[in-house]
């Protein structure tokens, strides 16, 4: 027992950062090392029993804490999963509502634009019909006047017939011009009218914006397109 009563051993045990358990000799034996140790047992056998029992208790605590940690983590994950599902459902509902609203507005605006263009074409048709009626009345009046003049003088009749021919030619030219300028007739000849996103007519290619949406009106329907590249007539550089 002398070794465990030395000052150097006692100082080493006291300064140790590792817990020290002593169990020197028999139950009645006491040493200085026993007084500076973290735990004192009466015998080495008692030390072994203490370590064995504490090890089993620590392992059980570790198992208990591990089970608790797993259970707590599962609850946390389930909570986050539920929150994520609720957030996804809310976002999906909002997006669907927004898409429905956009589709409704697009349909309403499309119908409004179509109605306005139909009105423009109806007005043009009314003007054209009125012009033809006026010319027809004038032509009928001139025919009646021609009959009266024919009985008066052959020379005057001849000159008047020449005048009628010139008038007929002007009438045909005017009517052909009206037909030529009719927007529907222009579209039927293969031309188209292009509108930007604000429904303004694009007279030049450079009036469009890159990556913008345009609407192309044809004689039998409309096309929707995206501007990929702009080429200005007379220039070598393109806008992309």
Out of 19-33, 91-105, 185-199, least confident range: 19-33
Q: What are the tens digits of pLDDT across the range 59-75?
A: 787 788 888 888 888 88
Distance CA 86, CA 235 (A): 56
Q: What are the tens digits of pLDDT across the range 4-47?
A: 778 888 888 888 888 887 877 666 767 878 788 878 887 788 88
Q: State pTM to two decimals.
A: 0.29
**135, 157, 131: which is closest to 145 by C-alpha?**
157
Report strand pairing: 39-40 vs 21-22: parallel
- Where helices occur in the chain by DSSP H, the ranges are 7-15, 32-36, 44-150, 154-181, 183-188
List b or e across 91-103, with b for residues whose CB sees 16 or more CB atoms inside 10 angstroms: eeeeeeeeeeeee
Residues 6+ apart with CB under 8 A from 199: 113, 215
User: What residues does 215 pair with on adjacent strands?
Assistant: 195, 224
């Amino acid at each position: 027992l002398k070794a465990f009563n030395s000052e150097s051993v006692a100082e080493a045990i006291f300064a140790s950062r590792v817990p020290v358990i002593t169990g020197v000799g028999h139950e009645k034996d006491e040493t200085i090392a026993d007084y500076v140790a973290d735990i004192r047992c009466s015998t080495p056998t008692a030390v072994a029993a203490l370590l064995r029992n504490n090890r089993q208790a620590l392992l059980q605590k570790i198992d208990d804490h591990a089970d608790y940690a797993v259970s707590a983590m599962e609850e946390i994950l389930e909570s986050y999963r539920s929150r994520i599902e609720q957030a996804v459902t809310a976002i999906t509902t909002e997006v669907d509502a927004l898409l429905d609203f956009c589709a409704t507005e697009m349909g309403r605006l499309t119908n409004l634009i179509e109605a306005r263009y139909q009105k423009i074409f109806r007005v043009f048709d009314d003007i054209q019909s009125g012009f033809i009626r006026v010319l027809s009345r004038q032509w009928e009046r001139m025919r009646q006047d021609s009959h009266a003049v024919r009985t008066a003088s052959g020379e005057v009749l001849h000159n008047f017939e020449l005048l009628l021919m010139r008038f007929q030619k002007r009438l045909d030219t005017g009517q052909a011009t009206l037909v030529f300028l009719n927007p529907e007739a222009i579209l039927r000849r293969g031309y188209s009218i292009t509108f930007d996103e604000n429904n303004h007519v694009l007279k030049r290619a450079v009036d469009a914006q890159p990556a913008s949406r345009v609407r192309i009106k044809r004689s039998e329907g409309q096309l929707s397109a995206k501007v990929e590249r702009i080429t200005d007539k007379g220039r070598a550089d393109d806008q992309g």
